[in-house]
Structure 1
Amino acid sequence: MTGSHLATLTERALDIWHAHGRETPLPGVFLAVSEEPTGPLHGVYQPSLCVVLQGAKVSRVGHRTYRYDAGKCLIASLDVPVRAEIITASKAHPYAALIVNIDPVVVAELLLDHPTTGMDAEITPEALAVHPLSSDLVDPLERLLGLAKHPRDIPVLAPMIQREIIWQLLNGPQAGMLCQVGLADSRVARIGKSIAWVRENFAEALSVPRLATLAGMSPATFHRQFKAATAMTPVQFQKSLRLQEARRMLLSEGVDVAQVGFAIGYESPSQFSREYRRMFGAPPGRDGVKLRSAVTAESHG
């Protein structure tokens, strides 16, 4: 991939950003732009392709750290809670990234139609991986972004181009990870079932044997495979989801901190406050005020 290709992608992405913001008119396609480095950003990554067009970012899952800068892409194969940080950005050269969601159904369809695809690929158990952006992806990404100026074509052409992007991923260094996304009986897909349950029921008491049954594994095998994929134990994973939900709830004005703790599954307010502070650097009450002030300032900016 040449520097001119990356510059073209960046220019198109920034044009769309100024016109539409993060939510582009393209289904399943998002943009992230920042004119300055950030502090820790907490969120949940879904199966997706994230291409950094300019600047650099670091994402952390459990004890693992992934750095990706211009010309690199991050592949996510599972829904995982992540702590990320934009480390290179300026007004002259803002951080810019293109995110394209990966539909496991499309992956499965392509694998069914072409069963030998990715057979020789190395299977990785990790939920995230960083690779150089393949030159084979540049053309479909450019065409996908170009559709933003042709809204009439989006319903017809966007799904075709996104399918092409997934096909290129299945034939690149990310093939092993993508195959795991599409195969119903793969380790990643089975761990994904347990992750889906935890996300939908994060306030409930966690039962590893129950999750192992959902994944069709013994408790010992499940625990090992879950940690290999997410770099967290199931309990750590649940805690991260709970605290991220608590932070979202604290954006609401007048919310009671203790009630937030109970709502996400904590029986002890002091334990909730202690673990919240450990994750976000401030107790929930103070952090909630800071979050609401930041949102208010942004809306009036």
Structure 2
Amino acid sequence: MTSRLIDAIAGILDRQGIENGGIETPVPGLRLIRTHGVVPPRHMTYRPSLCLIAQAAKRVMIGDSTLTYGHMQSLVITVEVPVLSEIIEATPEKPFIGATLALDPDIILDVVTRMDKTARPGGPAGLGLVVEEVDERIAAAMIRLIELVEQPAAVEILYPGVMREIAYWLMTGKAAANVARMVLPEGPPRRIAVAIHHLRDHFDEPLSVGELASLAGMSPSAFHQHFKSLTAMSPLQYQKHLRLLDARRRMLTEGERAGSAAFSVGYESVSQFSREYARMFGDPPHRETKRARMALAGALAGPRAVAEAL
């Protein structure tokens, strides 16, 4: 199964002429990735998805937690969360090869509600990122999805069924409780997700934990507890990550100066912004963005160029 999965991903990338990089495919939410070298840490936002590694290895840091996964393992993500991600194993002879598939909440909810209640995964949902071994049934379904990449006319007809199959088998794995709670309206993760979406859309505004708790239908103390359990960070830390990520995007892609970017994302003090930026990215804004531009310009076709997609 491993060699079939590697061949399926590599074959598509070969025919697309991509040695190092990732591609969006006609299959909803499916990305295929290959890189022939390690990729340094990059801050980014993960969204609910199944991230599968067919070869090599990767490390993800979220809050105070570190997750490492590799050959025929997957990371099941059921919460939108900022992370630090890096590829820690990859060589020209044995490149990193993987695929990510966005989880379809409508299909997952349909699968969960069709299951007998006694068969639904029990227990509380934990951290919204779980590493588990790749189930052979999920691997086989992923191969069928990858085969649809070059059959776009079949995608609309066949994708829902294969995605439903993947959702069902996820309900039998280590991340089952997380996947179910992600879509069930009565569960804390689903209610926390409502607050996260509001925070994402209003991260540049003053944070009110009470308002977020009210959106989630919880007391402030219960909200804080569930939020940290799910994301490994407090609401304030989460907001700070979103602000700094957007400020970096503004400086890198829109050419904004540090002071302007700081005010745009909600900071009232440029010095505080510079301190927190340096703490998160390793250097003050001007130096870090200059280094990032040089790295991207000098390695557009290399492993660094795919860092933001991983």
TM-score normalized by the length of structure 1: 0.94
Aligned to 1:76: 77
Query: Which aligned pairs between 1:282-297 and structure 2 lie closer than 5 A?
Result: 282-297=283-298
Aligned to 1:110: 111
Aligned to 2:51: 50
Aligned to 1:131: 132
Q: How many residues align?
A: 297
Report the residue type matching 2:94 in the other structure: H
Deviations 1:156-194 (A, max 9, x none): 112221121111112333211111011011110011111
Distance 2:259 2:24 in 1: 34
Distance 2:275 2:95 in 1: 35
Report the residue type matching 1:129 in the other structure: V
1:15 matched to 2:11:
yes
> Comparing 141-150 with 47-56, which one deviates more in the overlay?
141-150
Report the residue type matching 2:289 in the other structure: G
Structure 2 SS opposite 1:39: strand
Distance 1:40 1:299 in 2: 17
> Comparing 187-196 with 121-130, which one deviates more in the overlay?
121-130
Aligned to 1:223: 224
Alpha-carbon shift at residue 299 of structure 1 (Å): 4.5
Distance 1:228 1:46 in 2: 17
8 Å Cα contact 2:34-2:95 kept in structure 1: yes
Report the residue type matching 2:76 in the other structure: I
Distance 1:145 1:255 in 2: 39
Structure 2 SS opposite 1:126: coil
Query: Which aligned pairs between 1:123-272 and structure 2 lie closer than 5 A?
Result: 123-252=124-253, 254-272=255-273
Distance 1:117 1:171 in 2: 13
Unaligned runs of 5+ residues in structure 2 are 303-310
Using CA pairs under 8 Å that are at least 6 residues apart, name the structure with larger relative contact order, 1 or 2: 2
Deviations 1:55-87 (A, max 9, x none): 001111100111101111110111010111111
Deviations 1:68-109 (A, max 9, x none): 011111101110101111110011111111111111111111
Aligned to 1:90: 91
Distance 2:34 2:227 in 1: 32
Report the residue type matching 2:204 in the other structure: A
Structure 2 SS opposite 1:42: strand
Report the residue type matching 2:274 in the other structure: S
Report the residue type matching 2:111 in the other structure: L
Report the RMSD for the aligned CA atoms in angstroms. 1.7
Distance 1:122 1:148 in 2: 37
Deviations 1:224-249 (A, max 9, x none): 11111111010001001111111111
8 Å Cα contact 2:48-2:103 kept in structure 1: yes
Deviations 1:180-215 (A, max 9, x none): 011011110011111111111110010000000011
Alpha-carbon shift at residue 128 of structure 1 (Å): 0.6
Aligned to 2:306: none
Report the residue type matching 1:243 in the other structure: L
Distance 1:117 1:32 in 2: 38
Distance 2:149 2:221 in 1: 48
8 Å Cα contact 1:16-1:24 kept in structure 2: no
Report the residue type matching 1:179 in the other structure: A
Alpha-carbon shift at residue 119 of structure 1 (Å): 2.7
Distance 2:118 2:299 in 1: 47
Distance 1:232 1:47 in 2: 17
8 Å Cα contact 1:180-1:188 kept in structure 2: yes
Distance 1:300 1:72 in 2: 27
Distance 1:292 1:66 in 2: 28
